[in-house]
Structure 1
Amino acid sequence: MSDPVARRAPWIAGVLVAAALVVVIVMTTPWHLIDLPKPDATLDFTQAEIDRQNQFRHELLPWSTTSWILSLLVPLYIGFSPVGRRLYDVHRLRRWYVAVPVLVAALGLLASLLTLPSDALAEQVTRDYGLSTESWGLWLRDRAVNWALASLALTAIAMGLIALAKKWRTWWWAPAAIAGAVLVLGVSFAYPVLVEPRFNEFTSMAAGPQRDEFMQLAREDGVPVKDVLVADASKRTTTLNAYVSGFGSTRRLVVYDTLLKDAPPAQVRLVIAHELGHAAEGDVLHGTLIGALGAAFAVVLLKLLLGARMADPRRTALLLAMIIAGSALAGPVQNLVSRRIEARADYHSLRLTNDPRDFVEMQHQLSVRNISGLEPSRWRYWMFASHPTSPERIAMARAWGAERGDPVPPLVNR
């Protein structure tokens, strides 16, 4: 093909993929479910509970924020400065397909070591407040597994992009964009089978009334669930949670053992109904589609920014820095969509159970138990909040109940 066509093609593809991504997000995200009153934490949380949450955040956030800043600044500095190419050269490995994995693993290890002190201090805070129960040995083991998995994933991405750019200097981005989208789809299928077992052990819930209730609830909701699994979360945390993992033949309902042990049955049922809402609404597929389009757009953007320079393995650190920068910039949009999706799952739970009173009590108990943020700062809310706050979720349940003649009184007497 002519040079003008080769120059215009990535711009056209980028516009088309970006437009498709925007259309999917705008058209499939549930932007409005119900008119909500202004959330008010003082309606349902005592001053002591609010003060405890504030004190927990006051002690935790300096360390978690330090880790986040370091995890961004270190790779960005290395990647966007000559340091990245010098680190590649220092290996003196003649084969690029050997040097690239070494560099990726080394940079990941460096970032992990630099954030180790602040991460450890943050972990100590969660221990002091009774949220973390894992041993320091298990904590270090989890960090090592995270480093290994991240290094493996980033190595595969970097080597794939470099190899394609070496083979097709001009058009490498086209097969790479397709491969990126397919990779996201594959990870959605494989994650429950290959990654989750690296951190928790899962056992099928024993036959009995509670399992039968969960399966019956799924049938009533029209959601095919392959199995109900219990995760041994208590070896790491005291928090309460459940989730639906995978889709198709890999879909299963996963329940924390802490939830089964410490939450009343009515509240457990509401949590399960929320998770079934994700499956009923196809949220995993929805997220996978957005992720696939996002991956394809990211590859086209790399083409526009790097061009044929992608074939130079000495720019591996720059590639990693651009991936990290892109992930950080995309975070607020991802969280915005996620909060809306989670709100829809809450709405689904209310419709399925018709139990706004227990829903409010459940959200209160979960928030107190998990010491969830009640009123995070605006920038933290946009950057990190993948779920609505507990007062926002309670406000939805209260509005839902009021519409149906079942008002929910405040949990705190004012």
Structure 2
Amino acid sequence: MTSPDRRTALGVVAVGGVMFAVLAALLVPWNPVPGGDLRPLDAGSVFTVEQIARAEDYSRWARTLSYGSLLVSLVVVLWLAFSGRGRRWFSWLPGPWWVQVILAVVLVEVLRRVVTLPFAVLLRREQLDVGLSTQAWSGFAVDLVKGELVSIVATSLGLLALMACARRWRRAWPAIAGAVLGLLVLAGSFVYPLLIEPLFNDFQELPDGPLRTEIMQLADEEGVQVGDVLVADASRRTTTLNAYVSGFGGTRRVVVYDNLVDDLPRDQALSVVAHELAHARRNDVVVGTVLGVAGTLVGVGLLSLALGGLRRRGHPGLADPAVVPLVLALLAIGTLVSAPVQNTISRQVETRADVDAVRTTGDADAFIGMQTQLMLRSLADPKPWALTQLWFGSHPVGLMRMALAERIAGDG
């Protein structure tokens, strides 16, 4: 049985919380908008009535299906964690403890995927109907399986590390496990572009030409070392447009979607790239990672406190593989509760990258044109619900980003 010192758990929460607060205060741009508060552009000044109606109709269905999927997934994992029948399933798993942990993760994750599959299929059909996806159903199924396997492997590694610490250091495990999982978060940021991205996309070098030359020049102007410019075959799955910078040091590369290259004017494509290079110049991925490490410490400490209370009510301790669904249930709740904090930080960081992109290119019109195309291509809701944006919006609303570009252009 695992009986961590309550003071140790509280100390881990305190250290992680202070670390998170200090790093967020120092590294997150809390006032990125020049000139203070900003009002979004009026949707009618940018889009037609038909375009607005089409985006709102799709967004309504997408939100309904996404929230339905989230709710059903949460209900299932809570049932597995807290019902007597659900808990008994995990007491019957064979093998040594580490095998039981992996099997428990597979059981939870596969069951969650099965019960939410109807929502994914309905959303996929809606995307096909409105032209947001070009991928065949077979490709969609393959990507679902790949994503599920990645989730199972990552979750299993994290839980194995957590439970190994709990079994080895029965009273001090919150501190040690917090440090170990923090290191795994850090390592994940480095290996993701090398191991995970190639599972879902094929990459080719962007051929020599004006766009490649201007991207490299833009990287030089922003002081970002870039080893290569690659094109991802995203058009086989989606009609939406994107680019990103991945990797660190010698592995850093600019990745552009093939439909971004093919469908946008060069000045608008460069505006997207400038935004992503701004993230690299500001080391936003590193900032997000260290904040994630601090958040992990808080999460492990709170997990220890929660498990301690639940154990007194008859639930298994962290040394018992039968605790896996309970840990995953608490993780799901914690992720949902902390979403506003994570996404508020993300929106601030994205806004600063927008400011940098417009100032670097000196072309607000290209930025506004690019944002218009992004919204049209993704059928983004021009006026999402305030609570939805607070809780789940990782980026500023598109019309707000256009207003930002106009302000920067007006300021000269």
Q: Could you say which TM-score interval applies, normalised by the shorter chain?
A: over 0.9
Matches of 1:177 and 1:82 in 2, distance apart?
30
Amino acid in the other structure paired with 1:137 = S
- Structure 2 partner of 1:373: 381
CA drift at 1:164: 1.6
* Matched residue SS, 2:286: helix
CA 1:7–1:52 in structure 2 vs 1: closer, same or farther (change >3 Å)? closer
- Structure 1 partner of 2:19: 20
Contact 2:127 2:133 in 1 (8 A): yes
1:193 aligns with 2:201: no
- Structure 1 partner of 2:344: 336
- Structure 1 partner of 2:328: 320
Amino acid in the other structure paired with 1:282 = N
- Structure 2 partner of 1:356: 364
CA deviation map 1:25-64 (0-9, x unaligned): 2332112122344212222222121111112123333222
- Structure 2 partner of 1:408: none
Contact 1:84 1:314 in 2 (8 A): no
Matches of 1:310 and 1:179 in 2, distance apart?
16
- Structure 1 partner of 2:254: 253
- Structure 2 partner of 1:48: 50
Amino acid in the other structure paired with 1:26 = A
Matches of 1:181 and 1:396 in 2, distance apart?
36
CA deviation map 1:336-367 (0-9, x unaligned): 11111111111000110111122112211211
In structure 1, list runs of 5 or more residues that go unmatched: 405-414
Matches of 1:289 and 1:161 in 2, distance apart?
19
CA 1:15–1:207 in structure 2 vs 1: closer, same or farther (change >3 Å)? same
For normalisation by structure 1, the TM-score amounts to: 0.93
Matches of 2:392 and 2:46 in 1, distance apart?
24
CA deviation map 1:165-194 (0-9, x unaligned): 111110112221111111111000000000
Amino acid in the other structure paired with 2:324 = T
In structure 2, list runs of 5 or more residues that go unmatched: 312-316
Matches of 1:186 and 1:16 in 2, distance apart?
21
- Structure 1 partner of 2:314: none
Amino acid in the other structure paired with 2:106 = A
Contact 1:335 1:386 in 2 (8 A): yes
For normalisation by structure 2, the TM-score amounts to: 0.93
Instruction: Calculate percent identity across the aligned residue pairs.
Output: 40
Contact 1:189 1:250 in 2 (8 A): no
* Matched residue SS, 1:244: strand
Q: Aligned runs of 1:275-286 on 2, under 5 Å?
A: 275-286=276-287
CA drift at 1:300: 1.7
Amino acid in the other structure paired with 1:85 = R
Q: Aligned runs of 1:140-155 on 2, under 5 Å?
A: 140-155=141-156
Matches of 1:12 and 1:64 in 2, distance apart?
37
Amino acid in the other structure paired with 2:16 = V
How well do the aligned residues superpose, as a CA RMSD in angstroms?
1.6
Contact 1:247 1:284 in 2 (8 A): no
CA drift at 1:81: 2.9
Q: Aligned runs of 1:294-313 on 2, under 5 Å?
A: 294-307=295-308, 309-313=317-321
* Matched residue SS, 2:318: helix
2:63 to 49, 56, 61: 61
CA drift at 1:12: 2.3
Matches of 1:76 and 1:29 in 2, distance apart?
34
1:384 to 359, 373, 392: 392
CA drift at 1:6: 4.2
CA drift at 1:65: 2.0
Contact 2:12 2:178 in 1 (8 A): no
> 291-300 or 33-42: which moved more?
33-42
Contact 1:363 1:390 in 2 (8 A): yes
Contact 1:246 1:284 in 2 (8 A): no
> 133-142 or 207-216: which moved more?
207-216
- Structure 2 partner of 1:127: 128
CA drift at 1:80: 2.9
CA drift at 1:84: 3.9
* Matched residue SS, 1:310: coil
CA 1:162–1:84 in structure 2 vs 1: closer, same or farther (change >3 Å)? farther
CA drift at 1:9: 2.9
Amino acid in the other structure paired with 2:29 = P
- Structure 1 partner of 2:268: 267
